[in-house]
Structure 1
């Protein structure tokens, strides 16, 4: 079913709004995928905070015009699904993981601001930890010295108590 001019303008405005906040856009060909598989993929994308839609390439080309993603227009060929995310890794991770399970989803490429990525680069990006995982690793690294310091401070009185207990046990054994 074809969209009228007002509906097309609304779609372009919606996509342009998503692109304005995006850190990455991933393109994948979905030719031959079953509807049930696409529904599962949509749910995974939604859970990861990824804007995920099947869109007409001409409408997306209009939406990315005059944005850092405008170089991606040359790669918008064929039936594509678009994953747009404000987390640079999230869209790549969702689509890459799903493409491993479903051979009908083929990642064609992607882009980060002013940089177009090949399918291999998208796979490399997907293997990186997400922002939340990196923050968790950083917090663990920052917490480790403090935890070790507290453990060391706690060891001094514990060692003293163990020494006093050993002396007590020794005195009781001699009595």
Structure 2
């Protein structure tokens, strides 16, 4: 093998290592059988979510994973392999890949890495069910607001003026004085 080819391979492995380092979630899939339209649609969905899809030789991916200390990917890195690197939201690559696999049956999720840990297909599917960051923040805000909201309702109901207003309203609905 020539020196130039070796340099190119080393550079590719280093680029893959950088992607593994930056990514907070990685989903590995077998894309055999997808047509050009499906691949284009998948890449578009991934790009919109801040996810990068890379197709590389398994040996290069193995070397990059070894440099990162990821063990247990050898059985996953077989056959035609595409890797989705999620840099923003952890569930994004898992959601897109698992949903796309439901409609485009040739796509098969093989495993991945979440927050630096090698995970199985089942774990990828579990991560795909997690809400987005905005959804989690909305839930948190609702939980934080609940005590204040409930206190305001109690204070409003205990207000003598409110009680008088409700009593007068009930009296008016019943047709006047008793």
Shorter-chain TM-score range: 0.7 to 0.9
Contact 2:26 2:86 in 1 (8 A): yes
Q: Which runs of 5+ in 1 are unaligned?
A: none
TM-score (norm 2): 0.77
1:158 matched to 2:159? The reply is no
Q: For the residues of structure 2 that align with 1:165 and 1:74, how far apart are their CA atoms?
A: 73
Distance (Å, rounded) in 2 between the aligned partners of 1:17 and 1:99? 27
Q: What TM-score comes out, normalization by structure 1 length?
A: 0.78
Aligned pairs for 1:24-173 (under 5 A) are 24-86=25-87, 87-113=89-115, 115-155=117-157, 156=159, 157-163=161-167
CA distance in 1, matches of 2:76, 2:169: 75
- Equivalent residue pairs, number: 170
C-alpha displacement of 1:141: 1.3
Aligned CA-pair RMSD: 2.9
Structure 1 residues 52 and 165: alpha-carbon distance in aligned structure 2, compared to 1, 3 A threshold: same
Counterpart-to-counterpart distance in 2, 1:132 and 1:69 = 30
Q: 5+ residue gaps in structure 2?
A: none
